[in-house]
Chains A and B, each alone.
Chain A
């Protein structure tokens, strides 16, 4: 019997000793669960996945025109539909704008949840803040394409789009009121601002500057001009960013602006689509806009590639390469400040802000500064210069949606394809893109009404 006892004890010991940690080994060393701060850092540095913004705002705006041939050769029917503001856009196609931006939110939520598990430290709060910024940025940019525009006096009846605040992939998210949606965006940004570093050498990473700059854009979009001005002004006073002098740039190079130039606050690219390709000779800067650049205006040359077919295409993206810039830059902050000051009738301040910026956009001696403008004329001037400066960044689309609520700035935009003229009237329901079909098939939410 003694033998049996010893044997059993021996076996029991082996069993127990075999258990601890034995099953915790990773099956494949190349793949791992992002658990450490370093891993989360790597997740948030995936700029190909995170630093992207929707492309259909720019496509739907009057920044560009596409000729018949170019329209016919767009690679997807959805691009064609969106360009002419067709009621149906996706026709069964998936939307990269929708899917990729929700992907950004998903990755941010993963980073947040993983960071939550780590002991508190400065590094961890910084990572959480970065994730919050990305989530807010993606939510905000999505809303500019798929949600109705925010307006003063918005009620809980106005529904936005799904808000994703966790990683439960099997959870189906409803449309939520626009008010609540923007509240979350602002809240995320305000919390993020607290823990972000002042600036980041890698401009794909968020910083305090980035959060504040996005807040300026969000407040402006919501029509909260005082807050927008305050945020924009905060940026203008920071030494980390400064205006480029366009005279120092060489318009004959392929891309006159370099990566992370001194105006870039947050680097992000517009999701690539056939219409937005630099090589597409049939997509031009809207000639009606282009002819408004005066002689001596360096934007006229730095932004333009003349095409053999007579059109002028755009090459002035702040990414410094083929990808279109969709991020946030200092020039936008000048325009936000100028607009907000003009709106509260501080003509002097508004003009100074506008002129400070514009004098860096002209050849020496060809710009003397605007003077004597005030009221609605000043505001119109600020908005026109903003459109001319921020062309091809998708900002115009966001402004169109906001300004359409003010009769003074309403604009009907037009397209001509194969002799047919298409019009997008102010306050048209087509300013909101429909929810992609694959979302509706799997998530029981209502489609956006696009019938005018």
Chain B
């Protein structure tokens, strides 16, 4: 009743203004803070009343108000709204300055879910936004690295590959997709993330819980990252902006990884030689490659050289170090260049934005580079008195990369065996030298004379001979139509076409080692000494091409309305997606680049290898085809109800269906839903706490989903053709790869989130704290089956996980005025435990997989997803230097028995291999146009396993770890080292006992000086403004180094193989 009275009162005051008594005239003028020009058309609203007026062509407005104090809310599109306190009567007209919204510093206060923009105050779920300023704070060609350490709850693992790099609140899956869903301009993005130009990005919202993400349903299980790109604004004067920067990285260092010294490796070669290890290689009909050190030892043994000569030459080899050559001839500092150019503007009924970008990278391996050209154009029209809005967007991205130098992967003596560490790539004059590869040097040297092509491998000459070129072109076209049906009710339809065509070419010139080696291997010498070439002479070209196309269509109806204190925001609609991917690859022998011609080869018959005619092989055939289709059909709805700006209730539901194979039709889809509640305590009448003017609590509950499309509900089979060696050559046959599993379901992630948002007076301290429970249900995992079922194991919905943690964001304004000093503290925790897992993983798998924190999982019930376990370490045996563990409670070097008898319960559990506590502290200091900001990041509460010497590979003749020099050599050494002695014979169990022992487990906890960002905005005066506005120079220093780490391991816990490369960027941006 009371509400109705207020409503009537409000309506009354609007309908009958003349009835108001004792009114004074209030005058004001609205101007732009940037240009000091008048802003016509700005909306001026008086406090809690319905009194609204619009500024005239001079930016001026008049109001009639009774005496008293008022709050005025002034808003204008393209500018940030302001609220000012005024008193009536006034002494002189009030000047109100609006700041253009692109200069907005306070952060975006709208959360985008990709379906709707929700004002921050109306939010019930867990959202994190990264605004334009924060995106531009760091410099990189890609968008993901700009989120690093500035996004609460998002963990980036620099060691994991692109498909497992990101995790939002843990990883609630084993075998399905682990990466967050990426939304670009309201549609799921299927392309590679490096195609998104950060200069085009306006803001990013990360959706962390069910209330935020459940609108994305079955693909939201890993969280959602919503990227919104820039566009012009209505009634915005033409704006031209640019941004250019250059980044120089530190050079990689071949000495960073702990590799054994050339002298140590020669020592091992001498030892192996004395044990006759090389006998079989030295006499092998396969002409096995023999390192120069072993050749010398062999020559000495045969009496071909004297002891003095051998000693002299061995000493010379000890003095060499391949790592010097790698640093000199392979590595170089990486240089990134970035240029972006944007034009945007808008009139009454249309707005547009065009951006162009060019990014070029000189890679840190010499002779390699890549670049990206991106174009994006948006346009939006309002038709029919604003009842229809039509928008179109076109984005084109082209990526190219050229790899002339295949880098260290080609520095091998045979596939999988690193080159001997005393190899030389050049002579004293800098002329390229050959190294031993694939065959023994004496054989290779005689080959040319025998009529073969030159068979030597010069690593430096091969640069530019085997060239991999990649090119990808992406087209993204989006059209949207919004139709206002009635007040508060609108219908929307949008469509996106996406296409990514990529090609990869690996051209091996006739001079390349690859081509020469393959041609020579298959060359057949005739009786008369002439040669036949089953692999024709000429270049070898590998080509692969892929084409991905998706169509996405979405339509929805949206309603928003307010009746009294009740507001409702609702939407419902459906979405369909069709994604097709096909690719092929093939090889051309005898390729002639000038004529684009190729020579056919015989893939059917086998040919004897020229170096060992008893090996009969087919010519390598590499042709492949793939054709994949993903289809989704989804229905969704979302309702937000607000009572009196105090209480928010949100409900969201979505049903996804996909062409998941052979599932019973009713299980093709999964309904996922969420419920959220928000309560703005500070808006309540009883709330009197002035020091904390904003306080809100919110909670949400709901389910997101995830799928593993490799699984099917029905039997699937792989179709093959019987080989010439089968009984029925050429007969097609099929092999079952998936058993029927009609109960296959989608994985579900249940999330409960509790959050509180607060802000103290004047915004001195603000932030949010959230606690969540995130449980993975029906996760797809392997289960063992009795073999009588016909299978050993199968994948099904059989595992659960339980995670919980918190995410805290604290913002403080330490100083305000001429000097500004702000601090942001991010603090997150995540603990995830496997609560149900039917398969008992072998201990060895648990030890191997748990050591990384990414990659394949071998879970153990009751432990984290990536648990770090180890064998108890009893030191080294005083007599033999053997590693010792515990057998029946006492130290023992019975490796086999320890390993065979150790169950999970006998191992030491250290903790998770993923950080369980992480975050960052960022301080920003501003003084006039100067802004200085630095970020300190921390990752705590986790463990990793460091590498050490592995004798089973070292005694197989492969260069190993530098710990070799610390090994046990004499009794007594066990007191100072944990590195076992050289064993008499290779023993994998002995290695494993040491490798997986406590002795090599390190705490990963560290604090890193992540970066510094400095920028200076030139003060503006009339003269410069004619040319530029908002001109800013900036500089960014990234990856500055470790401040503290728990372990004494000399390597950075996050950079195990290559040194973390610091970088320095310098750039300029502004508007014309």
Contacts and interface: CB of A to CB of B under 8 A. Distances in A.
Interface of A: 1, 3-4, 7-8, 11, 14-15, 18-19, 22-34, 39, 42-43, 45-49, 51, 94-95, 98-99, 102-103, 105-107, 109-110, 113-114, 161-162, 164, 167, 169-173, 202-204, 259-260, 267, 319, 436, 438-439, 441-443
B628 A46 contact: no
Interface in B1021-1037: none
A4 B484 CA distance: 9
Contact of A33 (B576, B712, B728, B733): B712
A32 B661 CA distance: 9
Given A23-B657, A45-B722, 19 more contacts: A4-B485, A11-B555, A11-B574, A22-B631, A26-B629, A26-B659, A26-B661, A28-B629, A30-B627, A45-B732, A102-B789, A103-B791, A106-B736, A164-B790, A167-B739, A167-B790, A204-B728, A319-B727, A438-B784
Main secondary structure of the interface of B (DSSP, over half): strand
A32 B719 contact: yes
A106 B792 CA distance: 12
A253 to B, nearest CB: 18
A164 B628 contact: no
A43 B736 contact: yes
Given A23-B659, A102-B790, A169-B794, A46 B629 contact: no
A171 B789 contact: yes
B286 interface: no
Contacts of A14: 553, 555, 574
B430 interface: no
A29 B734 contact: no
A19 B574 CA distance: 11
Contacts of A46: 733-735
B944 to A, nearest CB: 32
Nearest to A269: B727
Contacts of B741: 169
B620 interface: no
B303 interface: no
Given A43-B733, A45-B732, A169-B739, A33 B661 contact: yes
B788 A167 contact: no
A27 B633 contact: no
Contacts of B739: 106, 110, 167, 169
A99 B784 CA distance: 13
Contact of A45 (B631, B731, B791): B731
B304 interface: no
A94 B792 contact: yes
Interface string B779-792: 00000111111111
B790 A7 contact: no
Nearest to B582: A29
Given A29-B627, A47-B733, A23 B717 contact: no
A322 B1061 CA distance: 57
Given A98-B788, A102-B787, A47 B728 contact: yes
Interface in B705-737: 709, 712, 714-719, 722, 726-728, 731-737
Given A24-B659, A34-B715, A169 B790 contact: yes
B786 A15 contact: no
Contact of B789 (A31, A169, A203): A169
Contact of B716 (A24, A31, A48): A31
Contacts of B726: 47-48
B578 to A, nearest CB: 8
- Lowest 8 CB-CB distances: which A-B pairs, in order? A106-B790, A29-B627, A443-B786, A42-B734, A99-B787, A442-B786, A45-B733, A46-B733
Contacts of A1: 486
Contacts of A4: 485-486, 489, 491
Nearest to A439: B786
Nearest to B489: A4
21 contacts: A4-B489, A22-B633, A23-B658, A23-B668, A24-B659, A26-B629, A26-B659, A27-B659, A27-B661, A30-B625, A47-B722, A98-B788, A99-B787, A102-B787, A102-B789, A114-B715, A164-B789, A169-B740, A169-B791, A204-B728, A267-B727
B316 interface: no
A42 B789 contact: no
A110 B736 contact: yes
Contacts of B715: 33-34, 110, 114, 167
Contacts of A30: 625-627, 718-719
A51 B722 CA distance: 14
B485 A173 contact: no
Given A25-B631, A30-B627, A105-B790, A204 B727 contact: yes
A107 B789 CA distance: 10
Contacts of B658: 23
Given A30-B719, A33-B714, A43-B733, A103 B786 contact: no
B625 to A, nearest CB: 8
A99 B555 CA distance: 52
B557 interface: yes
Nearest to B719: A42
A52 to B, nearest CB: 12
Interface in B617-643: 625-631, 633
Contacts of A33: 661-662, 712, 714-717
Contacts of A25: 629, 631, 659
A32 B717 contact: yes
Nearest to B735: A46
Given A4-B489, A202-B728, A439 B736 contact: no
| Most-contacted residue by chain A among B491, B660, B718, B788 (CB, 10 A) | B788
A149 to B, nearest CB: 20
A18 B634 CA distance: 11
Nearest to A203: B727
Contacts of B574: 11, 14-15, 18
A28 B630 CA distance: 9
A73 to B, nearest CB: 18
Interface in B647-692: 657-662, 668
Contacts of B591: none
B483 interface: yes
Interface string B473-494: 0000000000101100101010
Max chain B C-beta neighbours (<10 A), residue from A23, A110, A441: A23
A18 B789 contact: no
Contacts of B628: 27-29
Interface in B921-946: none
A32 B631 contact: no
A47 to B, nearest CB: 6
Given A103-B791, A442-B784, A32 B716 contact: yes
Contacts of A204: 727-728
A272 to B, nearest CB: 14
A439 B791 CA distance: 11
A185 to B, nearest CB: 16
A31 B720 CA distance: 10
A319 B658 CA distance: 47
A98 B786 CA distance: 10
A275 B799 CA distance: 41
B731 A27 contact: no
Contacts of B578: 22
Contacts of A443: 786, 788
B1021 to A, nearest CB: 54
Nearest to A442: B786
Contacts of A107: 736, 790
Contact of A42 (B629, B709, B717, B791): B717
Contact of A27 (B630, B789, B792): B630
Nearest to A19: B633
**Which of A47, A259, A442 is packed against the most chain B CB atoms within 10 Å?**
A442
Contacts of A32: 716-717, 719
Contacts of B735: 46, 49
B990 to A, nearest CB: 22
